[in-house]
């Protein structure tokens, strides 16, 4: 399966989509392993693409202080044989968990909840840490390094214009990074460092044509500052694209995989086909199609590593926050808009199959035992 080595990457320069020779895309992945679990599929896709030589994962940082959010990332990294990828989390601001709107963190003594239990949406990631002891270093995100330091150190060490940031959570770290000052790592302030080192920011965020979207609404101030001040091209996989592009049931139902942290999360959180079929209110059909869970975050990884062209079309304009309650709007501007939002090219079912194929790939190597307790 070396086909992907021949795929050309697509980069966005000066407003043009330009095909260039394939080199591994250098990616910083910024995620919220807090409530939803398309993040797990996205990180699985990223590792599968790294195994294929299509990308290099420079860092995997959390955009939330939710207790298990960094540890969950480390469990997935360990599964794919990359336990030493730098991790970090925001300090002093941002979403805490259990729910994104919660003002306090989960009490560590709180019993491991079930769906909608006492530890809110965070139960699935607390369970991951409980089930895979020894696969992570940071039981609480607050124990992890400052995401700012991770970003600055990683960016400063990379060639100019070479790094793609793929964010599939809150925009907190982008705002904090832009507001950093020159330091021992780099004399450049955050905005200058980003302008110098970052090629592209791919963000799963915002809602088309307007509305409130999870990733951009809960830390709305950071979203506004990041969107208004980011100095490089930005591509959005917005709520509208991913909401009916489903993936993950294939790995949830895979009979030959055994237990893995990726499969555990999908198998434990996707309703059965029968549940979906018999849900008369259609809630489950909208949120969990027969293909699995809405693949918002996985689509952002596809864009970050393989570019827009193979799977998507794009529309140019501006995503901006309006008011102070987390709402956003899209202003189309085909000539001068600084942002692109992906739209449908391949059918979403086909995109879902591409994502499933990546999630189903077994890791090339593992550096920790996969024996389960």
Site residues for Ca ion per CB under 5 A:
32, 39, 168-169, 297
* Angle subtended by helix axes 38-51 and 69-79, to nearest 10: 30
Please say which residue, 155 or 168, places its beta carbon nearer to Ca ion.
168
Report how far Cα 150 is from the mean position of its chain's Cα atoms. Answer: 17
Q: In the complex, what is the shortest distance from the CB of residue 195 to Ca ion, in angstroms, rounded to a whole number?
A: 26
Answer yes or no: are the C-beta atoms of 363 and 77 closer than 8 Å.
no
Q: How far is the CB of 269 from Ca ion (least distance, A)?
A: 13
Q: Smallest distance, Å, CB 32 to Ca ion? A: 5
Smallest distance from Ca ion to CB 169, Å: 5
* Nearest approach, Cβ of residue 39 and Ca ion (Å): 4
We find the least distance from the C-beta atom of residue 317 to Ca ion, in angstroms, to be 23
List the one residue out of 172, 203, 176 whose CA is nearest residue 190.
176
For the chain, where are the E strands, in sequence order? 9-13, 16-20, 25-31, 55-62, 87-88, 163-167, 198-204, 210-212, 234-237, 246-248, 292-294, 312-322, 327-332, 339-344
Tokens 């992890």 found at: 144
In contact, 236 and 203? CB cutoff 8 Å: yes
For residues 11 and 302, which CB has a smaller minimum distance to Ca ion in the complex? 302
Cβ nearer to Ca ion, comparing 11 with 44? 44
* CB 6 to Ca ion: min, Å: 30
Q: How far is the CB of 160 from Ca ion (least distance, A)?
A: 29
Residue with smaller CB distance to Ca ion, 164 or 215: 215
Nearer to Ca ion, 144 or 204 (CB): 204
First to last CA, the chain: 33
The CA–CA distances, whole Å, from 84 to 79, 81, 135, 156, 295 equal 12, 9, 11, 19, 27
Rounded to the nearest whole angstrom, what is the least distance from the CB of residue 256 to Ca ion in the complex?
A: 28
Nearer to Ca ion, 58 or 100 (CB): 100
User: What are the phi and psi torsion angles at 290 (to 5°)?
Assistant: -60, -20
Q: Indicate the residue among 43 and 52 with the shorter CB distance to Ca ion.
A: 43
Cis previous bond, 209, omega within 30: yes
Q: Please tell me the distance from the alpha carbon of residue 4 to that of residue 257, in angstroms, as a whole number.
A: 23
What is the DSSP secondary structure assignment for residue 143, as one 8-state letter?
G
Minimum CB distance to Ca ion smaller for 63 or for 148:
63
What is the Cα–Cα distance from 267 to 356, expressed in whole angstroms? 14
Strand partners, 318: 331
For residue 348 the two structure tokens come to 């979403």
Question: How many other C-beta atoms are found inside a 10 Å radius of the C-beta of residue 243?
Answer: 16
Among residues 100 and 178, whose Cβ is nearest to Ca ion? 100
């Amino acid at each position: 399966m070396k086909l992907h080595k021949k795929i050309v990457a697509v980069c966005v320069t000066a407003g043009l989509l330009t095909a260039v020779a394939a080199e591994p895309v250098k990616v910083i992945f910024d995620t919220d392993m807090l409530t939803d679990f398309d993040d797990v599929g996205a990180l699985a896709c990223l590792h599968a693409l790294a195994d294929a030589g299509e990308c290099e994962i420079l860092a995997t940082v959390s955009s939330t202080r939710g207790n298990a959010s960094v540890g969950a990332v480390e469990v997935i990294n360990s599964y794919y044989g990359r336990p030493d990828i730098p991790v970090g989390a925001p300090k002093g601001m941002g979403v805490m968990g259990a729910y994104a709107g919660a003002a306090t963190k989960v009490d560590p003594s709180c019993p491991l909840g079930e769906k909608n239990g006492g530890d809110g949406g965070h139960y699935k990631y607390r369970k991951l840490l409980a089930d895979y002891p020894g696969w992570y270093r940071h039981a609480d995100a607050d124990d992890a390094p400052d995401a700012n330091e991770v970003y600055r150190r990683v960016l400063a060490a990379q060639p100019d214009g070479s790094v793609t940031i793929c964010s599939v959570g809150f925009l907190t770290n982008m705002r904090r990074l832009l507001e950093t000052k020159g330091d021992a790592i780099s004399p450049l302030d955050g905005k200058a460092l980003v302008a110098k080192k970052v090629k592209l920011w791919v963000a799963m965020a915002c809602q088309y044509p307007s509305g409130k979207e999870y990733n951009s609404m809960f830390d709305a101030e950071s979203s506004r500052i990041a969107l208004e001040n980011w100095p490089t091209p930005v591509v959005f996989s917005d709520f509208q694209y991913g909401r009916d592009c489903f993936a993950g049931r294939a790995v949830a139902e895979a009979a030959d995989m055994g237990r893995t942290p990726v499969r555990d999360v999908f198998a434990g959180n996707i309703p059965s086909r029968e549940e979906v079929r018999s849900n008369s209110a259609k809630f489950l059909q909208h949120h969990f199609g027969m293909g699995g869970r809405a693949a918002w975050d996985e689509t952002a990884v596809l864009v970050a590593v393989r570019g827009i062209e193979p799977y998507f079309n794009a529309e140019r304009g501006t995503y901006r926050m309006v008011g102070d309650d987390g709402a956003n709007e899209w202003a189309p501007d085909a000539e001068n808009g600084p942002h692109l939002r992906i739209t449908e090219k391949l059918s979403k079912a086909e995109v879902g199959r591409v994502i499933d194929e990546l999630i189903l790939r077994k890791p090339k190597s593992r550096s920790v035992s996969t024996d389960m307790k």
